[in-house]
Amino acid sequence: MRLGLKFFELYDKISVVIVDFDLDKKYPQNFVCKLPYEIHEGKNKGDNSFPNRFKNLTKEQQEGLIRQLLLDAKKIETDPIFRQEIERRLKRLKNG
């Protein structure tokens, strides 16, 4: 899997999804799941399917994957609103 992030702004809310570039180059065909704002032990509530898709990873490995995806996106993202969202999520991971 070659994973990346895709950002959307809808009604002043930022959504971030994980995409797999091995599936397809275009969204939504390469959609994997929403990027969770926080990871909970066990099952997450709502539409957060991250643990189900990556259930073989520990919480620390999931956080590492999220951090790496955010850092990779930070290198290429130019939109200031999305860059702010990246920083907010990285800070949240750091403060755990």
In this prediction, residue 49 carries a pLDDT of 54
* Helix %, strand %, coil % of the chain (to 5): 40, 20, 40
**Residue-wise pLDDT tens digits, 52-79:** 778 788 888 989 999 999 999 999 999 9
In this prediction, residue 7 carries a pLDDT of 96
37, 89 contact by CB (below 8 A): yes
In this prediction, residue 34 carries a pLDDT of 87
Cα(2)–Cα(22) distance, rounded to whole angstroms?
6
Note down the domain range covering 40.
Answer: 3-95
Residues of the chain with pLDDT under 70: 40-51
Total number of domains constituting the chain = 1
Starting at the edge strand that comes first in sequence, how are the strands of the sheet with 3-10 ordered?
3-10, 13-20, 31-34
In this prediction, residue 1 carries a pLDDT of 83
Longest dimension (CA), the chain: 35
Cα(18)–Cα(4) distance, rounded to whole angstroms?
6
pTM summary value: 0.85
**Token duo for residue 59:** 């919480």
